[in-house]
Amino acid sequence: MAELIPIEEHELLVFWVQLFVIVVFARTLGWMMRAIGLPRVIGELSAGLLLGPSVFGTVWPDGFDWFLNKGHEEVQSAALLGVAWVGVALLLVVTGFETDLGLIAKLGKPAALVTAGSLILPLIGGLAVGYLLPDVFLAEGAERINFALFVALALSVSSLAVVAKILSELGLMRRDFGQITVAAGMANDVVGWLLLGVFTGLATSGEIGVVQILKTVVPIVVFVALAMTIGQRIIDSALRQLRRRDAGVSGALTVAIISMLGFGVVTQRLGVEAVLGAFIAGVLLHRSRFQHEHTLELIEGMTYGFFAPIFFATAGLRVDLRELGNRTAILWTLVIIAVAVIAKFIGAYVGARLAGRTKRGALALGAGLNARGALEIVIATVGAAVGVFNTVAFTAIVLVPVVTSVIASVGLRMVVRGWEGSADEVARLEREAALERNIVVKSSRLLVPSNGDPASIAAAQILHFAWPDESAVTVLSAGFGVDEVNIEPLENTMYGRTIEHRKVKSADIAEAILNESELGFGVIGLGANDTDEQGSVISSRVDEVLSRAKIPVVLVRRARNLDGRRLPGAYAKAVVPVAGTAASRASSEIAFNLSRNLGTEIHLLHVADSSPGSLLGGLLHLGEQPTGTEIGTRVLEESTAMAAELGASTIEVLRTGNPGDEILSMVEDVEADLIVMGANLRRPDGKPFLGHTVERVLRETSATVVLVLMPFDL
């Protein structure tokens, strides 16, 4: 019967000391690098060099022997490297989360050309260097062709993990060239793992052919295809069930870890290393519309705070500069590094220029793709294991990622300093930044309950013109006659969006809407008509949704007297009451986006309390007992600035008096056909209460009313 071999107390002590010292050194040096404007990864790699045989082993040999537990190195190294590999796997999950496949697809030609250039030229340069390197670098009995192939591979591939970390820390991940760099880095990694399998087979068997190559490549292609289809459905199903059970971020984290491990097992079994599977898992987790919004934040915290520093420091820990103890070894190591940097830079630059990128964009790609990391260290390790590299070659190859990561980060920072990018790129980045600041108008998925009725189509119209194009939509048809529902008019209204139509047979339509809303949506777009139901704000069904909704609701009450038309005409003028609250800002987000897309003239209205020291003034801390007029002026100024940022056309109006009277009067004065208001959704005794002013406006106006209702008690 097999038994687990226990680790001795001394080995455990050394292991905990190793983790403690490595994390302290790596984090400290990482913070120091950030203090001088460099990525933390440089400090983390440098920590390994300081703690390795080159410095620690030279300054205090006895202490170094204890630190590595001399005599038990195999057990100690296995434990430490196990933690390090978990770190790189988590790092690749984070990278997958941050990889925008949609944007990469739009940048497909540049990404393909940059990938080709950044691989082919370094491969050629690496082969040349491999043949020219003196025998002092070759392991005893190694074939020169095998040696040259491993050198070429080590010099040609970039590190997706290091590249992504540098881009992320410099705030460049969402730039166009940043996404191209990630795409090319991903391709570099995939090609690198595949070639490593092929070259390892050549080194161990002494022969290579089409059949052997196909045995390596085909399983990976099949795995990626199955992961993107069946794997995506499995992850979606798991996250969906956790949403229904209200498992929170801990449940989503469990799915992420299991996906990382499962995909890693498959790719490791295929001989292409587990980190590639971890990256694919991150991509699929990010693509799932049922993903918890805080999952990435949690994974990033434990990865960047603990696991990643250990991985990068461990890479540096394995470098022994004492192996380069003669002039010939030092000179040729410098040649290896120079060829790695120059060939990668020129290849990426030429590819970018052929793809039509600017000179500065090409320079940024050449600099960014120069970063190497885990794969080069693996190549060096495998090369030594199969008898191709000796200790001199191993040290020289492992130095490549250390030096090139420094060069890449410094060079990239120099290239992008003061560079904002093209007008289209700047506009995209500003739009993404605005979405990050928004309260309700974000890129999250939209839920539109609809059985094809005109009210829901009106709600869909408002959401379509207010939300970004990338926000997908789920149209939920609930009831017993859903098989006959025709949502074609709604699809035409939201033309160009990704639309999913779900049909749920249920006697309780409100319950079906509420259950669906818990599956990762950002907002519910609810259409409503006037109703004569006694004791209801809108209707019993709408009131039930409002009484239990856990996410914001955009309620659209259609204009009266539309003579059977499914949609009103284009909204020409809108009255938008503003009060400086979160709900008011949320309604402004919708109104301003409508203005930008439809040309709607926005009349910003603040109804002020003319007495000094008003409650609103005290809450906003806008000075010592300001008057209501002073507060209103400041609120309007802030709203106007927000409107200008979003490209909306506004007219500011400040009035005093009763809010309900002034809003209704304003609608009549400017002949507005739309009112957009925000309100806190209070639920005393389990029933929705929108506020006296809002409910009065609903009763008395004939214009279309858009209410942005924020759950106040959640």
Output the pLDDT for position 481.
82
SS3 148: helix
Q: Is 547:687 a contact under the CB 8 Å cutoff?
A: yes
Output the pLDDT for position 691.
87
Q: Which amino acid appears at position 375 of this protein?
A: L
| Last residue in a domain, options 543, 568, 593 | 568
The number of folded domains in the chain is 3
Mean pLDDT by 10 residues, the chain (714 residues): 67 91 93 78 84 90 84 73 86 80 73 91 95 91 89 88 77 82 80 76 67 74 91 93 86 94 89 79 89 88 90 79 85 95 95 91 92 78 84 87 85 86 75 78 91 90 92 91 87 91 90 90 88 69 89 91 62 92 92 92 85 45 59 89 84 91 93 92 82 90 92 60
- Are 409 and 503 found together in one domain? no
- Are 551 and 627 found together in one domain? no
- Are 249 and 371 found together in one domain? yes
- Are 558 and 576 found together in one domain? no
Q: Decide if 714 is inside a domain.
A: no
| Last residue in a domain, options 526, 545, 568 | 568
- 313: containing domain: 9-421
SS3 603: strand
Q: Decide if 83 is inside a domain.
A: yes
CA end-to-end distance (rounded Å), the chain: 55
- Are 96 and 138 found together in one domain? yes
Q: Is 341:370 a contact under the CB 8 Å cutoff?
A: yes
Question: What is the CATH classification number for the domain harbouring 506?
Answer: 3.40.50.620
- Are 157 and 293 found together in one domain? yes
DSSP string, 11-62: HHHHHHHHHHHHHHHHHHHHHHHHHTT--HHHHHHHHHHHHSTTTHHHH-HH
Contacts of 110 (CB under 8 A, 6+ apart): 180, 351, 352, 355, 356, 357
Q: Are strands 601-608 and 473-479 parallel, antiparallel or unpaired?
A: unpaired
DSSP string, 81-108: HHHHHHHHHHHHHHHHHH--HHHHHHTH
Tokens linked to 226: 């199955």
Question: What is the CATH classification number for the domain harbouring 408?
Answer: 1.20.1530.20
User: What length is written for the chain?
Assistant: 714
| Last residue in a domain, options 370, 394, 421 | 421
Q: Decide if 153 is inside a domain.
A: yes
Tokens linked to 414: 């120099």
- Are 189 and 150 found together in one domain? yes
- Are 576 and 556 found together in one domain? no
- Are 583 and 563 found together in one domain? no
Range 75-78 contact pairs with CB under 8 angstroms and sequence separation of 24 or more: 75/7, 75/11, 76/11, 76/14, 76/15, 76/18
Q: How many CB atoms lie within 10 A of CB 487?
A: 21
- Are 64 and 203 found together in one domain? yes
Q: Decide if 41 is inside a domain.
A: yes
Q: Which amino acid appears at position 496 of this protein?
A: G
Q: Is 525:447 a contact under the CB 8 Å cutoff?
A: yes
Q: Decide if 699 is inside a domain.
A: no
Output the pLDDT for position 98.
72
Closest CA to 43 of 147, 166, 164, 203: 166
Q: Decide if 492 is inside a domain.
A: yes
Q: Decide if 710 is inside a domain.
A: no
Q: Which residues of 679-702 are buried (b: 16+ CB within 10 A; e: fewer)?
A: bbbebeeeebbbbebbbbbbeebe
Q: Decide if 708 is inside a domain.
A: no
Output the pLDDT for position 89.
87
Tell me phi and psi for residue 711, to 5 degrees.
-55, 115
Say which residue the tokens 């007029």 belong to: 629
Say which residue the tokens 């993903």 belong to: 291
- Are 219 and 199 found together in one domain? yes
- Are 124 and 186 found together in one domain? yes
Cα–Cα distances (Å) from 383 to 132, 162, 197, 285, 392, in that order, read 18, 21, 11, 34, 12
